[in-house]
A and B are shown apart, each in its own frame.
Chain A
């Protein structure tokens, strides 16, 4: 890549070579998560804040409140579908992994670990100059928070949404106030998810001054070795020794990758900016609605 200036995509900054960080499956799952989450938020938010000035135009955009509701439910169904596929994928990956202990407990794992709590404390110590920056593995506590936050959100929003979808069915044996309670859970968990993703996730991933304005690694799937070294130093041993390990012990994506093409970089950049623009606009809408 012959950039005379700093690349917009922070995953392309620093010296190479490139390594795979996210495989095709991760990237599609994340894309589906974005697509469904954005659609669910943008069809749900005008109902949640029906009194706000943006509610009526947004509802007109979806073709009326009934149609917005229909799109919302279809997207919820889509979310359940890819989540099930994702669960199957995780199960297959686990049962096929040659080293179960490493899968669960190594520097590559998504499984929460006592070290994550230690890293969280260490991060705050670092903020106050009381220690070095924590050394994250492939997935630090921030990535695990994002992931398990979505799991929690999926259960709470999905469960309450399912109740609200079929009130007559569930109302046959559950007391009706359960729908009042479900409405509260659904609305506030959705607001939490939007607020978390569109401010905290965005800052951690894209807007931090040292990564600003964009990190497209989830779209192109690859990052420079220097990026990995800076952001995920605890896995560097694994990466360095990757050539020495038997093939069966390597994660597929721990392989050197070709640099992303201009086209995929361009797509990732435009898509990334569009997504965080819509996300920040959504935060703007929530704040605007707080006035009504």
Chain B
């Protein structure tokens, strides 16, 4: 009597452990579907053999764990498998995920097959959500997304790279383009989406004047273009996000603020703070240093960091001995705006007049001198040292 695998397994089960019926069944299937070479000989095609490959250890490690093969594959109890053998839809168990997927952009992609469950989750190696959320699992989970959305891969050193799932921001099944009002990444919904992790910032952001603007504009025009709305990504970007704290982030945020607040940007870059910031200073104040980052209020409100009553404290964060007189410095000077600050205006006009008049008078002095010398030369009159006028033998 030969000791066939079935008998061997039975013997093993008796000896050491009793596998569940599902596990026993998987091991049975593994006899063929665990052996690539065997499958290849049967179907005479390597890609087809690879498709049919389902080793028991892979299944065991997957989210489906100890589920029997026949849970998904019906009509395969016998060999050769019945021609009516079918694979059950994932939806038969995962109905809510399927419903969400049906609504999302992946179910309706144009000019290619829909992006189905297995496109992202894999077939037999389906990972658990816990695995995907682990530090090691995140890059693995994101790989199928990046496989299609190559142009949207994250920069190597981005703050979210390798630490955040694509799905955490974009949604898992009901994934939509961010411009879609129902997208998790629509500016109006970013407070929940980003705020899911950044809770304290989200709480501050609710008080921010930009959040007021965002709500006012979206309620006035529900179809307002997402790119024009001040949500989290308007300043921070999505994929190109720059880590906060460095000069690169300062440069980017100043650029973002001044893109809308053009006039304030112009006057800021006319001041020492702005010029030093533009040149990469690590200490010079930029927009957020005075106005705050989240929870910004207009300077007319007492809650504002830039309200006159709060300036001594705000400026004092850098200028430790700031007093009431000190904070009368105009951080957004407009030299040509006489009403805003007459003294800057008069200084500007006076200094420009001195500059222009000096250059006109002495520019003329220079130009006419030049012409005189050239004209005299033409008439044979030489000037200058060595012209022969001097009495070199005086001494």
Contacts and interface: CB of A to CB of B under 8 A. Distances in A.
B321 interface: yes
Nearest to B355: A192
Interface string B326-355: 111110010100000101100110011011
Contacts of B389: 226, 229-230
Contacts of A114: none
A127 B341 contact: no
A181 B347 contact: yes
Contact of B321 (A19, A168, A199): A168
B392 A225 contact: yes
Given A180-B330, A226-B390, A168 B320 contact: yes
Interface stretch (B53-61, B86-94, B234-242, B277-285): B277-285
Interface in A209-245: 209-211, 223-231, 236, 239-240, 242-243
B384 A211 contact: yes
A206 to B, nearest CB: 12
Nearest to A229: B390
Interface residues of B, number: 63
Interface size range of chain A in the complex: 35 or more
Contacts of A180: 271, 329-330, 333, 341, 343-344, 347
B81 interface: no
B394 A175 contact: no
B272 to A, nearest CB: 7
Contacts of B393: 15
A2 interface: no
B95 interface: no
Interface in A151-207: 164, 167-169, 171-181, 183-185, 188-189, 191-192, 195-196, 199-200, 203-204
Interface stretch (B131-139, B181-189, B296-304, B363-371): B363-371
A73 to B, nearest CB: 14
A275 interface: no
A292 B157 CA distance: 33
B348 A184 contact: yes
A124 B351 CA distance: 26
A230 B387 contact: yes
Interface in A27-57: 46-48, 50-51, 55-56
A161 B329 CA distance: 16
Contacts of A183: 271-272, 333
Nearest to B281: A65
B388 interface: yes
Contacts of B386: 6, 10, 13-14, 224, 226-227
Given A50-B278, A256-B395, A10 B384 contact: yes
Given A59-B279, A179-B329, A200 B385 contact: no
B280 A59 contact: yes
Contact of A224 (B278, B322, B392): B392
Contacts of A189: 351
A11 interface: yes
B275 interface: yes
B359 interface: yes
Contacts of A124: 365, 368
A13 B382 CA distance: 13
B344 A181 contact: yes
Contacts of B370: 203, 208-209
Nearest to B351: A188
Which interface residue of B362, B384, B389, B391 has the most chain A CB atoms within 10 A? B384
Given A168-B326, A210-B383, A230 B280 contact: no
A59 to B, nearest CB: 5
11 contacts: A13-B386, A15-B393, A46-B279, A59-B279, A59-B280, A127-B368, A176-B326, A188-B351, A229-B390, A230-B383, A256-B395
Interface of A: 6, 10-11, 13-17, 19, 46-48, 50-51, 55-56, 59, 64-66, 69, 123-124, 126-128, 133, 164, 167-169, 171-181, 183-185, 188-189, 191-192, 195-196, 199-200, 203-204, 208-211, 223-231, 236, 239-240, 242-243, 256
